[in-house]
Amino acid sequence: MSEAPGLPVVSRTPVEELAPVLDRAELEVFVRSFLDRRDVFLNAARAYGSPLYVLDEPVLRERARRFLAAFRAELPDVRVTYAVKSNNLPSLAGILLDEGLGLDVSSGLELRMALDLAATDIVFSGPAKQDHELDLAVAHADVVMVLIDSFAELDRLEAAAARAGVTVRAGVRLTTEEHGLWRKFGIPLGELLSFATAVRARSHIDWCGLQFHTSWNLGPEAQVAFIRRLGEALAAVPAGMRAGLTFVDVGGGFWPGQGEWLQQACPSGGGPAPSSGSAPIHYRRPARPIETFASTLSDALRRHLFPLAPCAVRCEPGRWLCHDAMHILLTVVDRKAADLVITDGGTHAVGWERFETDYFPVINLSRPALDEKPGYILGSLCTPHDVWGYGYFGADIRPGDVLLVPTQGAYTYSLRQHFIKPIPGVVRLGAGGSLTSVKS
């Protein structure tokens, strides 16, 4: 089959050739950690109904503290700003502010939320910022730093700051891929010197930093490779121009330590048919611990950047922080066959057909067991793509049973849709099992 020029070739390799099988013992330990707290989740379902998002506050705080500790052990002056786009629940962002993080926002809408939460360290990133969004950032220049995405945005930010009569702190985003869709973000490395020259001619912008972002980082290799390239490009910038650089922002994209769990299917989608009588097989692409990211990135920065610009470091984790900190509760409404049940919640709660490719265990809290049985666990939307999973952990499954789909914190709540059924409510699970309703 011929490919269109300039477009990437889509892999048709079966997932089992791309990733090893997920270890059954590891999976059972993961499931048991939720069964050990089943009473807390059942209490939430009894008190607040379902479907229901459960914000797991103790887990979120633990993740924030571990991330900060890992990077501060290597880089004591590091600043961490949470990428709001990964989960835009204000209560979640508020907890992370309480833990000492800042907020990374990608729109005027997110910026307004950050200001309403009284955040004092806000990074405003994203392409094609509109004039009213820049005006809002300029109006709060004491707490907002803008990551400039293009030369045209440089001009518009200068104009907004001049109108307001203030000086705005700013960095510049650098694209990590000069070809394909990712070049929509930032400027090419080859234009860094031109940008440095242009920004010096603007009297209302304090250019003080550099930022880049690579995504889906199961390990730090892509980030290290770009840091090396950035060092080469920065060496071409005269020392006087780079003297004002006070930070380098290595972005986010850190993958949670569990790695990427996948269904028995091709990455392009479709999902497996449950196999009669046998436990489903799942796959796992391993990820490095966050401590490995911290030590490896700090070594690369000391080698390639700090000799040229001895500055502080920033990073913008999203998924790594919130992935484990939100779960979804469902209730079985209908059992249409021994291997097919329908729940009260639809996957509009996650906003995409996630579970046709991504694997997360469906745990029957009402009939607990560490055996995973095959079967279709489907939602109540009027579409066949409304799939929660192709098996469940439990002794059996019946109408009225409460199911838990764990670790749904990243790129689910933010993508939820008003589609057919109402969006679930949110409950905050605190220390000691306390439960509080949350306004979403």
The DSSP code sequence of 75-105 is -TT-EEEEEGGG---HHHHHHHHHTT-EEEE
Q: Of the ranges 175-179, 191-195, 328-332, which one carries the lowest mean pLDDT score?
A: 175-179
Q: Assign residue 49 a region: left if phi > 0, alpha if psi is -120 to 50, beta otherwise?
A: left
> Which pLDDT score is estimated for 197?
94
pLDDT at residue 1 tops 70: no
Residue 410 three-state SS: coil
> Which pLDDT score is estimated for 279?
74
pLDDT band at 413 (very low <50, low <70, confident <90, very high): very high
Amino acid in the structure at residue 75:
L
Contacts of 343 (CB under 8 A, 6+ apart): 51, 330, 331, 332, 333, 377, 378, 379, 380, 388, 403
Count the neighbouring beta carbons within 10 Å of the beta carbon of residue 45.
Answer: 21
pTM assigned to the model: 0.92
Contacts of 129 (CB under 8 A, 6+ apart): 108, 137, 146, 149, 153, 156
> What secondary structure letter does DSSP report for 305?
T
In the numeric block, the tokens 């469902």 are attached to: 330
**Residue 372: what are its φ and ψ, rounded to 5°?**
-100, 120
Q: What percent of the chain has pLDDT over 70?
A: 92
> Which pLDDT score is estimated for 108?
97
pLDDT at residue 9 tops 50: no
pLDDT digits (tens, 9 = 90+) for 84-128: 999 999 999 999 999 999 999 999 999 999 999 999 999 999 999
> Which pLDDT score is estimated for 274?
57
> Which pLDDT score is estimated for 273?
55
> Which pLDDT score is estimated for 6?
37
pLDDT band at 178 (very low <50, low <70, confident <90, very high): confident
> Which pLDDT score is estimated for 275?
53
pLDDT at residue 375 tops 90: yes
pLDDT band at 3 (very low <50, low <70, confident <90, very high): very low
> Which pLDDT score is estimated for 272?
54
Contacts of 361 (CB under 8 A, 6+ apart): 27, 30, 31, 372, 389, 392, 393, 405, 406
Query: What average pLDDT does this structure show over 411-434?
Result: 95
Q: Going from the N-terminus, what domains does the chain have, and what CATH number goes with each?
A: 15-54+324-438 (2.40.37.10), 57-322 (3.20.20.10)
Q: What percent of the chain has pLDDT over 90?
A: 88
CA 105, chain centre distance (Å): 13
Buried b (16+ CB within 10 A) or exposed e, 76-85: eebbbbbbbb
In the numeric block, the tokens 């986010």 are attached to: 252
> Which pLDDT score is estimated for 439?
84
State the burial class of residue 191 (Cβ atoms within 10 Å of its Cβ: 0-12, 13-18, 19+). Answer: middle
Q: Tell me the β-bridge partners of 438.
A: 426
Question: Do the Cβ atoms of 221 and 182 come closer than 8 Å?
Answer: no
Using CA atoms, how far apart are residues 208 and 231, in angstroms rounded to an integer? 16
> Which pLDDT score is estimated for 73?
97
* Average of per-residue pLDDT values in the chain: 92
Contacts of 66 (CB under 8 A, 6+ apart): 290
pLDDT digits (tens, 9 = 90+) for 210-264: 999 999 999 999 999 999 999 999 999 999 998 899 999 999 999 999 999 999 7
Token output for 128: 């094609």
pLDDT band at 438 (very low <50, low <70, confident <90, very high): very high
Query: What average pLDDT does this structure show over 326-335?
Result: 98
